């Protein structure tokens, strides 16, 4: 039965992502980035509601009141696609830190480029770090929040939380904006690179903003908070 439900959802997913992508691409010349992100956010919520209705993957959010009304840096553990989509809805305008290869995906990648993410090449770690700090700072100064996965890549639940890159801490201290830690267990239900979706409740916990004057200390505080919550919800 899960196979049939997952098939129905995936058909909706691929058809809707193409339609949404075309809409964003066509409207790109006439709408500002934040408006395009609003459109993407509406699609994401619709997608997750279909996922809930068809596959039984519901979600609850604890700590939504901790999201600042000013620009911040969302830092989250990374398990799969669910959070990549959902975090886009928390604050608009926003900008994700993504690998450049995603922009090469026909249609979806073109639409993603229209949303103005900060893209980088993982193989060039030093240059990527400089680019994140430089372009990320420009985004924050312009009133745009950042979405970052400090682990760098998706991590399986069995491996726990990987070591965080300190780039999020550097951005926080350099621009005097907080890190907002987020922990979730989406990988239990929308498993990375798996066709079958498992029914259950995705728990998303948003922590209080973290400020500091030392990049490593700020990063470590976010890491320890996420690690603590990870152990509570898995």
Tokens in use for 90? 């928390």
- Sign of dihedral through CA atoms 66, 67, 72, 77? positive
Q: Which domains does the chain show, CATH number per domain?
A: 2-233 (3.40.1130)
pLDDT (tens digit, 0 to 9) for every residue of the chain, 234 residues total?
A: 899 999 999 999 999 999 999 999 999 999 999 999 999 999 999 999 999 999 999 999 999 999 999 999 999 999 999 999 999 999 999 999 998 899 999 999 999 999 999 988 766 666 777 888 899 999 999 999 999 999 988 888 888 899 999 999 999 999 999 999 999 999 999 999 899 999 999 999 999 999 999 999 999 999 999 999 999 998
Omega cis (within 30) before 93? yes
**Mean of pLDDT over the chain:** 95
Both structure tokens of 193: 């690179």
Global confidence as pTM: 0.95
φ/ψ (deg, to 5) at 135: -75, -35
* pLDDT at residue 219 in the model: 97
3-state secondary structure of 148: strand
As given in the structure block, the two tokens for residue 160 are 């726990």
Looking at residue 152, what is its pLDDT?
85
pLDDT attached to residue 126: 65
Tens of pLDDT, residue by residue over 155-168, are 888 888 999 999 99
Label the pairing between strands 57-62 and 118-120: unpaired
- Per-residue pLDDT, 122: 67
In this prediction, residue 121 carries a pLDDT of 76
Nearest alpha carbon to residue 148 among 186, 111, 100, 181? 181
Backbone phi and psi for residue 74, each to the nearest 5 degrees, phi listed first? -80, 125
Residue with tokens 């200390």: 217
pLDDT at 155: 87
H or E segment at 182?
strand 179-184
């Amino acid at each position: 039965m899960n196979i049939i439900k997952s098939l129905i959802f995936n058909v909706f997913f691929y058809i809707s992502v193409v339609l949404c992508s075309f809409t964003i691409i066509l409207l790109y010349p006439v709408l500002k980035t934040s408006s395009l992100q609003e459109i993407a956010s509406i699609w994401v919520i619709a997608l997750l509601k279909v996922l809930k209705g068809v596959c039984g993957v519901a979600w609850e959010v604890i700590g939504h009141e901790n999201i600042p009304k000013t620009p911040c840096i969302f830092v989250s553990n990374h398990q799969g696609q669910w959070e990549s989509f959902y975090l886009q809805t928390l604050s608009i305008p926003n900008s994700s830190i993504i690998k450049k290869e995603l922009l090469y995906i026909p249609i979806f990648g073109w639409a993603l480029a229209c949303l103005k993410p900060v893209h980088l090449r993982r193989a060039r770690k030093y240059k990527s770090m400089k680019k994140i700090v430089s372009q990320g700072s420009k985004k924050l100064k312009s009133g745009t929040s950042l979405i970052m996965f400090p682990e760098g890549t998706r991590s399986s639940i069995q491996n726990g939380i990987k070591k965080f890159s300190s780039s999020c801490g550097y951005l926080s201290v350099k621009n005097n904006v907080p890190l907002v830690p987020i922990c979730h267990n989406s990988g239990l239900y929308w498993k990375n690179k798996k066709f079958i979706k498992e029914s259950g409740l995705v728990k998303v916990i948003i922590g209080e903003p973290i400020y500091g004057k030392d990049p490593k200390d700020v990063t470590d505080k976010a890491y320890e908070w996420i690690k603590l919550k990870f152990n509570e919800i898995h």
